[in-house]
Amino acid sequence: MDVSMGMWVATILGLSALIAVDFFIGRKPHDVSVKEAGIWTVVWIVLAALFGLGLLVFGESQASGEFFAGFITEKSLSVDNLFVFVLIMAKFAVPSHLQQRVLLIGVLIALVLRAIFIAAGAAIIASFSWVFYIFGAFLIYTAWKLIQEARSDDEEDEFEENRLLKSIENRFGVADKYHGTKLFIRNNGKRVMTPLMVVMLAIGTTDVLFALDSIPAIFGLTQDPYIVFTANAFALMGLRQLYFLIGGLLKKLVHLSYGLSVILGFIGVKLVLHALHESGVHVPEISIPVSLAVICGVLVITTITSLIASKKQAEREAAEGAEKSAKDSVEA
């Protein structure tokens, strides 16, 4: 898709305006209700859909298909990332009324980091076509790793701070409690970070790791930097509201990792086939409609099987609880 500099500027200004509106709405710390989160989640999804349809009407059908495939993929990966956000909030005991501010700033940091990754990825792809082999192999490896983690009995129930975050904490120091929305305070004459600043950095820097699989994944669906950037932007901007909407449902998506592993593995194979085609090898390439159908199909099946498995697990736990209560009553 041929995108002019004016189109880039208009898009960035439009996204900046949307971010400003989001910031204005969430500027006052408060507990986000399910109703508020649900309304704004729908708003962001509708805006993304309108943008995709706009590409179809004013651009190209292929660009529209690539956007929707990329958006859905990035959104599904973002839902998986929410598990880590929950762990971070629990690790730092973030007050509920401050969580929306943490997520808002964290998403802004993520957008900047993604833009840098996308620019670097586009430059590398433009210069070295063989990088598709690396991207494809990495996604297939990531898919296998996700399956191994999903099958493991060990559950990660605590967030571990990365080295960068620890070094920043050691450099500036951290206050022993939250001070509203303040990011820095004076403590014994020294300027130190508040726990709120640390949490924002934790979410922002953790997104670097998330980008390692999400950026290659979307480049497997489209090599257009404009589509890659806008799909990432729309997927991330509704992440804050999605956190409050499905936070309590995350544990029910027990098969999400399996679904994501299938999607990443599928895109990895697609990248390898594309790389072979670019090298002159006559192999079939997977079209965008097929990619979109596979991605949506896997997510629907994963959601259904997850809810069924969660319901059965809840019934087993209820039955075991009732049996234990009856046994204790008899013994008493």
Q: What DSSP state is assigned to residue 33?
A: P
86-99 pLDDT, tens digit each: 778 878 888 888 88
Angstrom distance (rounded) from CA 92 to CA 69: 35
218-265 pLDDT, tens digit each: 888 888 889 999 998 898 887 777 887 776 666 677 788 888 889 889
Angstrom distance (rounded) from CA 288 to CA 69: 7
- Whole-angstrom CA distances from 229 to 117, 189, 205, 226, 330 are 10, 43, 19, 5, 64
Look at residue 65 and tell me whether its pLDDT is greater than 80: yes
Q: Domain range spanning residue 116? A: 5-331
Domains held by the chain: number: 1
Q: Please state the rounded mean pLDDT for residues 153-171.
A: 68
Q: For 144-251, where are the E strands, in sequence order? A: 184-187, 190-193
Angstrom distance (rounded) from CA 57 to CA 21: 26
Q: What DSSP state is assigned to residue 158?
A: S
1-60 pLDDT, tens digit each: 778 888 889 998 998 888 788 777 666 666 777 787 788 888 889 999 999 999 988 877
Contacts 24+ apart (CB under 8 A), 301-308: 301/259, 302/253, 302/255, 302/256, 302/258, 302/259, 303/253, 303/259, 305/255, 306/252, 306/253, 306/254, 306/255, 306/256, 307/252
Distance of alpha carbon 286 from the chain centroid: 25
* pTM, to two decimals: 0.77
Angstrom distance (rounded) from CA 168 to CA 184: 13
SS (H, E, C) 255-272: CHHHHHHHHHHHHHHHHH
